[in-house]
Each structure stands twice: as C-alpha cells, then as structure tokens.
Amino acid sequence: MTPDSFEELHNLIKPCITKLDTRFRDAISSKERLGLTLRFLATGDTYKTLSFSYRMDASKLHAKPLKNGGQRVEI
C-alpha cells in the first residue's frame, strides 16, 4: 500500500476508529490502529509479533484494539 493510499483510507475511517485517552492509559492512535489492522489482515501475524513490530505492550493488543466496537464503516 502506498503512503498516499494509506492516508486516504485513514482520512475516510478516522472518525470511526479514533479512541480517547483515559486516566489510566493513552489510547492507540488511529494511524497505529489502522496499521495494526492492515498488517494483521495481510499477514496473519500473532498479537505477540505485532506488539514486537510496533514496540507496543502486548496487553494493549489483547484488549482488541483491532475491533471497532462492532460498528460498520461505510466508505
């Protein structure tokens, strides 16, 4: 995927996948969520591999950041 197509896709779905920070932890940015989701779908990597690749605590991935709360994104 080219950087331009990633940006275009991100701009389309950003309002649906953006999460807010809480008092306990910072939210994963919408660009990271999209990148993680695309990589997961393209490679089938495990959460452990993804956490290593993105230098992110695996517990954040086990909290299912790849899901969108069941919302359907219409483009």
pTM of the entire predicted model: 0.69
Torsion 65-70-71-73 (CA) sign: positive
Backbone angles phi, psi at 4, to 5 degrees: -65, -40
Please report the pLDDT score of residue 33 as a whole number.
Answer: 85
pLDDT digits (tens, 9 = 90+) for 46-62: 878 887 887 877 666 65
Contact 54, 65 (CB under 8 A): no
Nearest to 29, CA basis, from 19, 38, 44, 42: 19
What's the chain's average pLDDT? 79
